Amino acid sequence: MSNTLKKIGSIASTVLVVLMVLCAVFLMGSRILGYQCYTVISGSMEPAYSVGDLLYVKRVDVNAIKVGDPITFILNEDLVVATHRVVRVDTENQRFYTKGDANEIEDNDPVHFNNVIGVPQFSIPKLGYVSNFVQHPPGMYITIGVGIVLLLLVFLPDMFGKKKESDGEIQVAVIMQEGIDAAAEENERLKEELARLRAEVGGKDAE
């Protein structure tokens, strides 16, 4: 029963570690490929993007953006980021006019070409919640703590198992050595006894 529980715990820990690694790949590894990740925090682009979805945005040539494309951009001086769809393009003044799919009217302010971050390439539903949790305290600290605990659960049993096995081998070696020493001592005692008996028999023959 104990071994079964250990196996189940080991499998569960391994699965959780793999899931954490996959999340790290989705959240961090994408940057290596040139993507930036943003979490949808409003329903203005539903049903295309829902609250909690994680958007993977890639920088593109703004001149290639056309009406109907969703764009991710810096909304204001507070560096708030938004994603809306382009409804008009003012090439001369380098402005995009945007609107959320779920909104009835256009956004009040046009988006300057320089404020465009990129174009969403794809999204993963609800992964944005995970992204926000692991990237900001206290979720960041909880995630790190859980990761350390899982790693310990995965590797410590093997380490202790090897230590116990090593200790067992040492104990067996000690017992064997003690047996060898005892046999040697008994052999020496028998030799001495045999020599004594021979001496006594030799003495009687001389008489």
Catalytic residue among 53, 84, 123, 131: 84
Is the Cα torsion angle 191, 197, 202, 203 positive or negative in sign?
Answer: positive
d(C-alpha 106, C-alpha 62), whole Å: 20
Separation CA 99–CA 103 (nearest Å): 7
* Known catalytic residue at 44: yes
Catalytic residue selected from 13, 53, 107, 123 = 107
- Distances in Å between the alpha carbon of 60 and those of 12, 81, 93? 42, 17, 19
3-state secondary structure of 43: coil
Active site residue 107: yes
DSSP state of 153: H
Q: Give the containing element (helix H, strand E) for 36.
A: strand 35-39
In this structure, are residues 65 and 87 in contact, taking their beta carbons and an 8 Å threshold?
Answer: no
Active-site residue (options: 44, 53, 123, 131): 44
Catalytic residue annotation: 44, 84, 107
